[in-house]
Structure 1
Amino acid sequence: MHSLPSGNLRVLQVTPNTTISLGKYGSFPTNLIIERPYHLTYELLDKRPNETFNRLRVVPPAELYADIFSSDTTTTPTPEDATPAPDAEGADNALPTDIEYSLVDSDSGAVVAITDRAEIAASARQTLTLKEIEALKKDGIDAGRELIAKLMLSHTAIDQKTEYSLAKYKLLKTRKYIRRFSILPLDIPLLNHWTLEDKDPSKILDMREEMVALVGCWANVHFGGEDPCEAAQPAVKIKPEEAEAMEIGEEAAETVDTSVPGRWLVIDDTGGFLVAAMADRMGILYPPEADHTNTEDQQQHEAKPNHADSSSGNQPSSKEGEGAAESRTEKSEDIERKPEPEQGTKPSSPQTTRKRPRREDTIPYAHANTITHIHANAQPNLSFLRYYGFDVINPFHTPSHPLAKHLMALSWLQLLEPELDPTYSSAVPNAMPEEIYSWKTNRRSTFHRKRKRWLRTRHIIDTTREGGFTGLVVASTMDPISIMRACVPLLAGGAPIAIYSPTIEPLTELADCYSLPRRAAWASNLPEELLGKSASEQENFPGNEDFPVNPSLILGASIQTSRIRKWQVLPGRTHPLMTGRGGAEGYIFTAWRVRPAEGKVEARGNIRSRKARKVDVVESEGQGQSEIPNTK
């Protein structure tokens, strides 16, 4: 992400050997900023002869904060280094026109620019016309510094400005004409700020940064631990035949134990922004760039093992190197040579021409530290994840990304009525490997694609319906009562719940459903349709007019909000900013999932009335006897 001189943000994808254009400021090659740290401030230099791009200069911190650390900025401009205002009363007191005025650099003391009084018209505050400013901008001399100096020299009321207004004026002109920019990492707070200020805030339901933080804290979103199945199984090399047999077999679709921690249930209508914020807290948002680079280099090296040696003419220096080179040559020759069948005969085995499937095409889902996203569309809307290198449409095209294993998505239809989903209900029949090898390539690939899709869908739906989730996070425009009716039975005991809503009205209705009077009425007068049913059947209560949900499943229901107020902090001028962005206020509903005890709850113990108190008789020397009640 680039921060432009005007203060605006622009999201760009940096690709090697390309050019980035900043519009009127210029353009530069991407190779000039690749492998460089973030938060550096660059300045576009003037184009050199016979060059179509601008070179970059790293602006040092001493130059950036020269006005702040300089002691000269605490004093107001004097007539020696600033242009005074003309006298409007008469020409007798006007300053002579033959006096020159100069702009002096506060750090070095060098004269930046010199002007004559005759060049300044007394009828305007800023005497430079728009045509003159555009001409200076087209010249592009010294990246706009000369233009700023002339603007300050031609300002006839610069001596009337205070130190704050002068600094603000200079900063405004610097941002407008100095061609500087910074490269910032596209983290969640910056993405939130960019969406709220420059893009459409309704896409993320006007979620401010403090709201995102509160949702993550109240839902206790954190790193849920390593996958116990991955930790228990060592990395073993599998032959292509065994890998294909494992993919075809029924054992690949068996469900696993869902009691492991670190499984969050998410309903996200913010385009994937809430999922990205949760993945950032769980440590699965960013792909392992170092490992991915090393893997690509290794694959390129394996694809061309002798390319460098043949081009340079160098030979292996040891016998071991010669043996390794010979073995690689023999293997490559064996791969390239194919047994030619005799005339009038067919190949004896189809394995000589078929293409082996790659093991990385089928990625098993993790069992811990996962996010299960429930959506209402045919495909999940997680468009914000593309900024972090994850393809939502084809998630298994990026197998190195952590979200490929830790993010699962299913629709409400698949959760509530899985039999009506054609992918889940239409099972792909199993086939033996010998039968599959005899098929044509198109039929074999279609079979593998359909079966893998069916296995993944069945795994996601079955594990979700088994429940045992660590927490529930919601940011949706749907009715929260209907969401809680379907999702609360899927949570484990003690799981936190955090629901964000732009308005407070839906959350107040939800809080009323779990209020203390509702729970008391539920305990004293159970609905007739639940009489004689077990606790598990009562959890799936569909609701009625008096009890929209089961109020005994939730404790500690509350609604809260928070807003960070921005302040201007200056010496003697500290006050909150009077203006700010509008939009929805935003509220959060928080609660905890509980499992009510079965049967009637009875209180036991020795109960004493307040009147029947034990009295201790204490003898005090010289004062007789007194009765002191026992306060134990």
Structure 2
Amino acid sequence: MHSLVQPNAWVVLRLPNESLKILQVAPNTRRIISLPKYGTFPSNLLIGRPYYKTYELLDRLPGHKDSSLRIVTASELHADTIAEENAATKSSQNANAGNDHDESIPLGGDGVEYQLVGPNNEVIMRSNRETIDSSAHQTLTMAEIEALKREGTDAGKDLIAKLMASHLGIDQKTAFSLAKYKLLKTKKYLRRFTVLPVDVPMLTRWIAEEKDTGKILELREEMLALVGSWANVHFASELPTQPNVAGGRWLVVDETGGLLVAALAERMDILHPVSPDDTISAEGEEAETPHYNDQPLATSNTLTLIHANAQPNISLLKYFSYDPTTASPPTRTPHPLSTHLHTLSWLQLISPSLDTTYSTSIPLLTPDELSSLKSGKRGTYYRKLRRHTRVKNIVSSTQAGNFDGLVVASHMDPVSILRHTIPLLRGGAQVSIYSPTIEPLVALADVYSTSRRTAFIQAPPESFLALLQDTGPNSTSIRTSIPSADSNATTNSTPDQPLAPPPNPDTWPGSPDFPLNPTLLLSTSVQSCRLRPWQVLPGRTHPSMTGKGGAEGYLFTATRVVPARGRVEARGKFGKKRVELEGAGRVGGVGEGQGADGKNGEAIKREVDVGEIGKRDGEPMVKRQKSVSPALREEVEERLISDEETRGDEISREYQPTFKLTQ
């Protein structure tokens, strides 16, 4: 982000009444910026000036239509705070010097008695019980106030001073009420504004206060931060040792006009345009950069936006100097989003052969054919060729998958979104879905609940089992678009059309009982977050009563996992525990052995570990050891059988041997 206001940049003007105004600073002497109730000034007065400065509109000079600007110093901005601190310092010095005041009636910094004190006799609040706030205390009439406003002397400070001087009850106000009264008049009449850069929190606050929040699904600053945090969106550059390895790729479904894309791009450091100074090398020479039309698509640190229309709705990105509809960029250096933001429609993702832009191939012309074309047709040819090549590259890279996360803010059913996007995520990818209402997210959480996952594992649907058989090691299924080597039949496939991918269990379309595969997402949760401003005053602490309502907003989070295929066997080192076989003694570990049930003296095989043979309490005992030879195993089995035959009469017929874990 630039530290100075650049030409054609969008800036935020914060007025004294805390209202925001976003406008573009065009480098034109005839471009006038108008602030209602404040005045007008040329836009060139802001170009090249630093951000976070407060300006004051001066009185118009004779013969001039517009006002000039003056930078307000920090000491002037905080004059009241500095005066209060100085007064408090002087009062403390007087108290230390032995000021003769009654200790039972403490005095404030303004020398006025207070009636509300703390346990240590400190000043908290003066009583305003006898204060009467009435419009009759103001001697200036509305006509006189309007006349002073039209005069506009000293940027409104004279008007504020006359209002306070003409107030009859100004001496009855407490320090807090006096400061509040002065602040209200300052916000109303003082002609000042602060220049701020446009960032995602400022843009969100401006839309929430000045525009329609329904266009951004009533997203708030804290919810935007929570969405990006749970999706683990961060800057990810290419590996220097492995430049071909792509990383930092996120899937986005955004129906907020580009606000969600802007929030994610700001985390990835690709939102703001590159400064022209960054293109100059250390030797002072400008680095050679390709034309903006010849910029290759980035392979890492990218956002892939899936939209439902012919063109994506990312109109809010214009406030960050990015407009994909312009024929040429406003600056010489291209915007980072021109190569790091990949857009494709749902049709291009699901059935690219049905999309005309993807399926209609552009024939390559020879240099002689290009030279014979007119300039207009030649430009149209290059534009179509670039669009076709870009769409093909984006579709192929998206269908390859291996994305690091999925972020959704849409009115669409999240189940239908995940049905086509979950297979594109790698293992360990984070899923973050925002919805202004909780009902769609609760239904989605039920799809991935533990009970539904257990039922799916124990009794998978027949369609899913058939898909697993097609993808097994003995499967004979091949890609349908690849003709047989012995066949002379021709197909309608073209080189531009992708081959049909082999069956994948992750792309299972679902069933009535299982809309989605519940084993693909774990750690699902639904949460909410809302930042509420509070008024913090002694005895008057409460939430702000002027806050704006609207939808609460909820967030669904989960982690993409890759289910294990086939049989899972657990192996490893076990703890030193022994398994007691009732009727046969103590056996340690887990392996292969025998036990008796007393039926006809026959022995029943049990899974026990076989090791060294010993005696304990007159019963055979097998100690646990790591490996057992076949000869030793047979010897143990014979001895166990012989021991059980001698004890068979003592064992009841209904006795069933069981295993118990003992220390």
TM range (shorter): 0.7 to 0.9
Q: Find the counterpart in structure 2 of residue 369 from structure 1.
A: 301
Does the 8 A contact of 1:373 with 1:409 survive in 2?
Answer: yes
- The 5-angstrom pairing of residues 112-261 of structure 1 reads 124-226=136-238, 260-261=246-247
Does the 8 A contact of 2:251 with 2:304 survive in 1?
Answer: yes
2:509 matched to 1:542? yes
User: Structure 1 residues 470 and 150, CA, compared in 2 at 3 Å: closer, same or farther?
Assistant: same
2:11 matched to 1:44? no
Q: Find the counterpart in structure 1 of residue 455 from structure 2.
A: 521
Work out the CA distance in 2 between the residues paired with 1:139 and 1:77: 36
- Match of 1:477, SS? coil
Q: Find the counterpart in structure 2 of residue 619 from structure 1.
A: none
Deviation at 1:437, TM superposition (A): 2.9
Q: Find the counterpart in structure 2 of residue 337 from structure 1.
A: none
- The 5-angstrom pairing of residues 13-412 of structure 1 reads 13-16=24-27, 17=29, 18-71=31-84, 72=87, 75=109, 124-226=136-238, 260-291=246-277, 359-394=291-326, 397=329, 400-412=334-346
- Match of 2:389, SS? helix
2:19 corresponds, among 5, 8, 18, to 8
- The 5-angstrom pairing of residues 616-631 of structure 1 reads none
Deviation at 1:171, TM superposition (A): 0.4
Does the 8 A contact of 1:6 with 1:175 survive in 2?
Answer: yes
Deviation at 1:293, TM superposition (A): 9.2
Q: Find the counterpart in structure 2 of residue 433 from structure 1.
A: 367
- Match of 1:378, SS? coil
Deviation at 1:417, TM superposition (A): 0.9
RMSD of aligned residue pairs (Cα, Å)? 3.1
User: Structure 1 residues 525 and 286, CA, compared in 2 at 3 Å: closer, same or farther?
Assistant: same
Work out the CA distance in 1 between the residues paired with 2:40 and 2:251: 45
- The 5-angstrom pairing of residues 442-457 of structure 1 reads 442-457=376-391
User: Structure 1 residues 583 and 368, CA, compared in 2 at 3 Å: closer, same or farther?
Assistant: same
Work out the CA distance in 2 between the residues paired with 1:494 and 1:19: 53
Instruction: Report the structure, 1 or 2, having the larger helix content.
Output: 1
TM-score (norm 2): 0.69
- The 5-angstrom pairing of residues 473-484 of structure 1 reads 473-484=407-418
User: Structure 1 residues 67 and 440, CA, compared in 2 at 3 Å: closer, same or farther?
Assistant: closer
Which is worse superposed, 429-438 or 282-291?
429-438
Q: Find the counterpart in structure 1 of residue 523 from structure 2.
A: 556
Answer with 1 or 2: which has the greater Rg: 2
Deviation at 1:189, TM superposition (A): 0.8
RCO higher in 1 or 2 (8 Å CA, sep ≥ 6)?
A: 1
Work out the CA distance in 1 between the residues paired with 2:196 and 2:170: 35
- Match of 2:531, SS? coil
Deviation at 1:359, TM superposition (A): 4.2
Work out the CA distance in 2 between the residues paired with 1:465 and 1:147: 66
Does the 8 A contact of 1:385 with 1:392 survive in 2?
Answer: no
Q: Deviations over 1:45-79 (max 9, x none)?
A: 11122222212222122222222232359545879
Q: Deviations over 1:447-479 (max 9, x none)?
A: 222222111111111111111111100011100
Does the 8 A contact of 1:28 with 1:53 survive in 2?
Answer: yes
Work out the CA distance in 2 between the residues paired with 1:397 and 1:123: 56
Q: Find the counterpart in structure 2 of residue 589 from structure 1.
A: 556
Work out the CA distance in 2 between the residues paired with 1:453 and 1:228: 30
Does the 8 A contact of 1:228 with 1:368 survive in 2?
Answer: no
Q: Find the counterpart in structure 2 of residue 325 from structure 1.
A: none
Deviation at 1:288, TM superposition (A): 1.2
Does the 8 A contact of 1:383 with 1:392 survive in 2?
Answer: no
Deviation at 1:35, TM superposition (A): 1.9
Work out the CA distance in 2 between the residues paired with 1:163 and 1:123: 20
2:24 partner amino acid: Q
Q: Find the counterpart in structure 1 of residue 601 from structure 2.
A: none
User: Structure 1 residues 151 and 631, CA, compared in 2 at 3 Å: closer, same or farther?
Assistant: farther
Does the 8 A contact of 2:429 with 2:559 survive in 1?
Answer: yes
Work out the CA distance in 1 between the residues paired with 2:439 and 2:205: 26
Deviation at 1:419, TM superposition (A): 0.8
Does the 8 A contact of 1:148 with 1:173 survive in 2?
Answer: yes
- Match of 2:426, SS? coil
User: Structure 1 residues 180 and 159, CA, compared in 2 at 3 Å: closer, same or farther?
Assistant: same
Does the 8 A contact of 2:406 with 2:430 survive in 1?
Answer: yes
Work out the CA distance in 2 between the residues paired with 1:123 and 1:468: 69
Does the 8 A contact of 1:272 with 1:383 survive in 2?
Answer: yes
Deviation at 1:277, TM superposition (A): 0.5
Q: Deviations over 1:340-361 (max 9, x none)?
A: xxxxxxxxxxxxxxxxxx9442
Deviation at 1:396, TM superposition (A): 5.8
Deviation at 1:267, TM superposition (A): 0.1
Unmatched segments (≥5 aa) in structure 1: 80-84, 89-121, 233-256, 301-357, 616-629
Which is worse superposed, 485-494 or 8-17?
8-17
1:563 partner amino acid: R
2:392 matched to 1:419? no
Aligned residue pair count? 495
Q: Deviations over 1:295-343 (max 9, x none)?
A: 9xx999xxxxxxxxxxxxxxxxxxxxxxxxxxxxxxxxxxxxxxxxxxx
Does the 8 A contact of 1:227 with 1:367 survive in 2?
Answer: no
- Match of 1:70, SS? helix
